[in-house]
Amino acid sequence: MGDDNSHVLDALYEGLERDPSNAAREYAARLLDIDASNAVALNCLSPVSEEYEIARPPTSTTKATSQTKAFEEALANLKAISSGRVSTVVATFQPPSATDLAREIAKNPSPSNTQKLLQEDFEGVFEWAKSPHEKQPPLSNDQIRQRLIHRKILLEAALPPSAVPALEAAMTHVERKKLQKRYANTTTMCGDAIEDIPRENFYVSEDNHAWDMEELVGWLTTREGAMTSRRSDALCWTIRALMRRPAYAPWMSSSRARRGAARCGADHAGVVEGPCEGFAYGAGV
């Protein structure tokens, strides 16, 4: 266990001196249950050498008691870790208040920093809620989602409107990566798996369909909005919603993409043609 645990070795020998048949040997035996090759415990259970007894300076009873208590605490921690109760030993992330996080973001309100801090916060809240605590069992994914929604509501009230798109993106990321959220479609317009959409391109419309923004804008630019999709109304509604969101304005920067988005609105029938031919919009799970 290394030099850092030399005090444990001292505590074991103190126990041997006071009660050779019980305390220290019992501690060592229990430690070997956790780590069968533990050198400290093996040394304690072996005969104590005369050289050690001669060279070892005397220690006070108070110091011995303190060291024994430290060993008992260390042993309890090891047993907790070995049984999977890590959070009872290692301090876990405690989410800051929404106001404190808003103040931290205000120090550097750039979009990239805002996105970074919000994503770290949501991931931290997830890990904190997922960890088993001493006085409560682990939460289910549905319970964790409710906590994240509550967190999002509090942050919306504390943050300026310009930070809301980053807040929504952070929530979407955690739902996708941590909560394994399922979407109404299993593939993108061009047939790629939803799981393969890069995070920076990922968008979820209010009807719970997942989109690859690069793919969608590429289609708008190429086809200039000409669709024959059976679900064109829903697709056009999604595009119109995107046009109203400042965070997605860069995607619509080209004139052809804007013209394509502007053409959306008419009823069509059939299937999507061209590069995305065969896309089954709404193929759910």
pLDDT in tens, the chain (285 residues): 445 455 555 555 555 455 555 556 666 676 666 667 766 666 666 654 344 444 444 545 555 555 566 666 666 666 655 555 555 555 556 788 999 999 999 999 998 899 999 999 999 999 888 876 655 677 888 999 999 999 999 999 999 999 988 998 899 999 999 998 999 999 988 889 998 999 888 888 878 888 888 887 777 666 554 544 444 555 666 666 665 555 555 655 666 565 655 555 433 323 333 333 333 333 322
Give the position of tokens 């109404």. 184
3-state secondary structure of 132: coil
Amino acid found at 59: T
pLDDT given for residue 259 in this prediction? 61
Long-range pairs, 270-278, Cβ under 8 A, ≥24: 270/228, 270/229, 270/230, 271/228, 271/229, 271/230, 272/189, 272/227, 272/228, 272/229, 273/228, 274/219, 274/222, 274/223, 275/190, 275/218, 275/219, 275/222, 276/189, 276/190, 276/191, 276/215, 276/219, 278/191
pLDDT at 23: 59
The owner of tokens 């970074």 is: 116
pTM over 0.85, yes/no: no
Which residues are within 8 A (CB) of 134 and not within 5 positions of it... i.e. 6 or more apart? 85, 87, 88
Residues facing 204 on adjacent strands:
210
Tokens standing for 5? 């645990």
Structure tokens at 199: 């995070």
